[in-house]
Amino acid sequence: MPICWLVSEDDCHKPIQLHHQQSLILGRGPETRIKDQKCSRNQVELKADCNRGFISVKQLGTNPTNVDSVVVGKGNQVPLKPGQKLYMVNQLYPYTVRFTEDTSTWGSAGERSKPTKRPHQRDSHGHKEENESPASKMSTPSYTEPESNGASVAEKAAPGKAEPAGHWSQGLKVSMQDPKMQVYKDEKVVVIKDKYPKARHHWLVLPWDSISSLKVLKREHCELLKHMHKVGDKMIQQCSDAQKLRFRLGYHAIPSMSHIHLHVISQDFDSPCLKNKKHWNSFTTDYFVDSQDIIAMLERDGKVSVKEGTGELLKLPLRCHVCHKEQPTIPKLKDHLKIHLPS
Q: Which pLDDT tens digit goes with each residue over 311-341?
A: 999 999 999 999 999 999 999 999 999 999 9
Q: What is the pLDDT of residue 124?
A: 54
d(CA 218, CA 220): 5
Mean pLDDT on 259-287: 96
pLDDT of residue 5: 93
In a domain, 181, yes or no: yes
End-to-end CA distance of the chain: 58
Dihedrals phi, psi of 310, to nearest 5 degrees: -60, -35
Mean pLDDT across the chain, nearest whole number? 82
Say yes or no: 87 and 126 in one domain. no
Q: Are residues 137 and 41 in the same domain?
A: no
Q: Quick one: 175 and 311 in the same domain?
A: yes
pLDDT for 255? 85
Question: Which tens digits make up the pLDDT trace of 43-72?
Answer: 999 999 998 889 999 999 999 999 987 889
Mean pLDDT of 117-146: 43
Quote the distance between the C-alpha of residue 329 and its chain's center.
26
CA dihedral of residues 27, 256, 337, 138 (deg, nearest 10): -150
Closest to 40 measured CA to CA, from 19, 63, 20:
63
Q: How many helices and strands in the chain, by DSSP H and E?
A: 5, 22
Is the same domain home to 88 and 125?
Answer: no
108 is a domain residue? no
Of the candidates 280, 230, 283, 222, the one whose C-alpha atom is nearest the C-alpha of residue 252 is 283
Q: State residue 102's pLDDT score.
A: 59
Tell me: do 132 and 277 sit in the same domain: yes
Range of the domain at 335: 121-157+166-340
- The confidence score (pLDDT) of residue 161 equals 37
Confidence of residue 2 (pLDDT cuts 50, 70, 90): confident
Q: Is 190 in contact with 204 (CB distance < 8 Å)?
A: no
- Assess whether 264 and 311 both reside in one domain: yes
Comparing 152-156, 179-183, 300-304, which segment has the lowest mean pLDDT? Answer: 152-156
Write out the H or E segment, with its range, that includes residue 25.
strand 23-26
- The domain tally of the chain equals 2
Portion of the chain with pLDDT greater than 90, in percent: 64
- pLDDT, residue 172, reads 78
Both 252 and 312 in a single domain? yes
- Is residue 55 located within the same domain as residue 129? no
Positions annotated as catalytic residues are: 261
Q: What is the pLDDT of residue 241?
A: 86
Q: Is residue 115 part of a domain?
A: no
- Asked whether the beta carbons of 9 and 85 are under 8 A apart, the reply is yes
Residue 68 to residue 152: CA distance in whole angstroms = 34
The answer to whether residue 285 sits within a structural domain is: yes
Instruction: Give yes or no for residue 153 having a pLDDT over 50.
Output: no
Band of pLDDT at residue 212, cut at 50, 70 and 90? confident
Convert the pLDDT of each residue in 287-306 to its tens digit: 999 999 999 999 999 999 99
